[in-house]
Amino acid sequence: MFIEIEPDSAVPIYLQLAQQIMEGIARGELAPETPLPSVRAFAADLGMNMHTVNKAYHYLEEKKMIEIVPKKGVFIHANAIRSASTEEKARMEEELRPILAEALCLQLNREELAGMVEKMVREIREGSE
């Protein structure tokens, strides 16, 4: 699992970490039940604070992407790869909204939008940055 954190990004580093773990899951690199490093080990590895890793973990737990078992460890959720619920779809749609508004101003048509989606899906699947 290769994690690349950009300290100067506008995206908080706990979110960068959570998103890259989610990409690992999407890619199949992190299969359900796979253990993740302890908050201390991961923090030391990434050069960040234990509590920051903890925050990323809880963000992913909230999304039911990982399971935190107190005193045991952290694991990719047994059901991490699943069908989206109505709520999950609605959340993703709302996140899509501002990006699409900009895309419409910038005159991207149906095909170009589909092309961008395909490109990014490919990049996520390949693990490229």
Partner DNA sequence: TATGCTGTTCTATTATTTATATAACAACTG
Partner DNA sequence: CAGTTGTTATATAAATAATAGAACAGCATA
Binding site for a copy of itself (CB under 8 A): 19, 22-23, 25-27, 63, 65, 80-84, 88-89, 92-93, 95-108, 110, 113-114, 116-121, 123-125
Residue 44 CB contacts under 8 Å (≥ 6 apart), including other chains? none
Q: Measured in whole angstroms, how far is the alpha carbon of residue 119 from the centre of its chain? A: 17
- Of 40 and 125, which has the nearer Cβ to DNA? 40
- Of 71 and 106, which has the nearer Cβ to a copy of itself? 106
Residue 60's binding partner, choosing from DNA, a copy of itself, none, with beta-carbon cut-off 5 to 8 A by kind?
none
Q: Measured in whole angstroms, how far is the alpha carbon of residue 41 from the centre of its chain? A: 20
Residue 125's binding partner, choosing from a copy of itself, DNA, none, with beta-carbon cut-off 5 to 8 A by kind?
a copy of itself
- β-sheet bridge partners, residue 36: 74
Q: 50 and 40 in contact (C-beta within 8 Å)?
A: yes
Residue 122's binding partner, choosing from a copy of itself, DNA, none, with beta-carbon cut-off 5 to 8 A by kind?
none
Per CB under 7 A, 40 contacts DNA: yes
Q: How far apart (Å, rounded) are the C-alpha atoms in residues 24 and 1?
A: 7
Smallest separation (angstroms) from DNA to the CB of 108? 26
- Of 71 and 87, which has the nearer Cβ to a copy of itself? 87
Q: 52 and 7 in contact (C-beta within 8 Å)?
A: no
> At what angle are helices 13-27 and 110-126 packed, to 10 degrees?
90
Binding site for DNA (CB under 7 A): 10, 12-15, 36-41, 47-52, 54-55, 57-58, 68-74
